[in-house]
Every structure is written in structure tokens, then in C-alpha cells.
């Protein structure tokens, strides 16, 4: 297992189009997180899953955003009717969810979204 992977790495889309990103966590990790990072800023929390259950969503996650984690494995983040303000790096992270290191998150390389 080589870590958290995300696909695609880059996405350019036109305003109003829908986009979907995929995250594959480290296989034994039961928690999965999505963050958004804009230029010059730290990542901001969007949502997180424990197994297949979505346990928390940020107010940043408008109705145009939806995330799923079917069967508690990979996760998808969909943005409908994209806006230029959605342009950002979308980061996925996972953590073990038990034991002393349960709070350590391991990050993927991110998906950079550009909305034109």
C-alpha cells in the first residue's frame, strides 16, 4: 500500500459543469476526510467519514457539493454547477481511527480544480 491516492490530479472545467473527484485511502484506515486549499491558505475542512457514514459537514460544503463513501472504501466528491470560486486544491486524507495514532491524518496529493 503506497498511501492515499487521488484522481484526477488536475481538472479544468467550464463554469456550470459538474465534476467528480475520487480518493482511495490507505486500506486499513476507516476515517476519510476532505479539505479544500486555496492559494496561500491552509487547508479548510469540508467533511469526514467514518467507514461509510458521513459524520460531519462544514458550512463550506454548499448544496452543490456532495460526498459519498460507499462500502467504507474509496470516496467521491462531486461539485455540481461549478463556479469560479470553486477553483482550489481538493485534498483527501485518511486516518486509522483507533489507538494512539488515531488522530494522525495521511494526505493524498490532491486534485487541483480550475474553473474557467
Partner 1 sequence: AQTVTQSQPEMSVQEAETVTLSCTYDTSESDYYLFWYKQPPSRQMILVIRQEAYKQQNATENRFSVNFQKAAKSFSLKISDSQLGDAAMYFCAYTTSGTYKYIFGTGTRLKVLA
Pairing of strands 106-107, 88-95: antiparallel
Choice from 14, 42, 53, 59 touching partner 1 (CB under 8 A)? 42
What is the Cα–Cα distance from 44 to 35, expressed in whole angstroms? Answer: 5
CB of 76 to partner 1, least distance (A): 19
Residue 25 interacts with partner 1 (CB under 8 A)?
Answer: no
What is the Cα–Cα distance from 76 to 68, expressed in whole angstroms? Answer: 5
Cell output for 25: 485511502
Interacting positions 54-93 with partner 1 (CB under 8 A): 56, 91
Which window, 21-29, 62-70, 71-79, 106-114, contacts partner 1 (CB under 8 A)? 106-114
CB of 111 to partner 1, least distance (A): 12
Choice from 15, 17, 18, 41 touching partner 1 (CB under 8 A)? 41
What is the Cα–Cα distance from 24 to 5, expressed in whole angstroms? Answer: 5
Do the Cβ atoms of 61 and 68 come closer than 8 Å?
A: no
Enumerate binding residues for partner 1 (CB under 8 A).
3-4, 31, 33, 35, 40-45, 48, 56, 91, 95, 103-110
Amino acid at each position: 500500500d503506497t498511501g492515499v491516492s487521488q484522481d484526477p490530479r488536475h481538472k479544468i472545467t467550464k463554469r456550470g459543469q459538474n465534476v467528480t473527484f475520487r480518493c482511495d485511502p490507505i486500506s486499513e484506515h476507516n476515517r476519510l476526510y476532505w479539505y479544500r486549499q486555496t492559494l496561500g491558505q491552509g487547508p479548510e475542512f469540508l467533511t469526514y467519514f467514518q467507514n461509510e457514514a458521513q459524520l460531519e459537514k462544514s458550512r463550506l460544503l454548499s448544496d452543490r457539493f456532495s460526498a459519498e463513501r460507499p462500502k467504507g472504501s474509496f470516496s467521491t466528491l462531486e461539485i455540481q454547477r461549478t463556479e469560479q470560486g470553486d477553483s482550489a486544491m481538493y485534498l483527501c486524507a485518511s486516518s486509522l481511527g483507533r489507538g494512539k495514532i488515531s488522530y494522525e491524518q495521511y494526505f493524498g496529493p490532491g486534485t487541483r480544480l480550475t474553473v474557467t
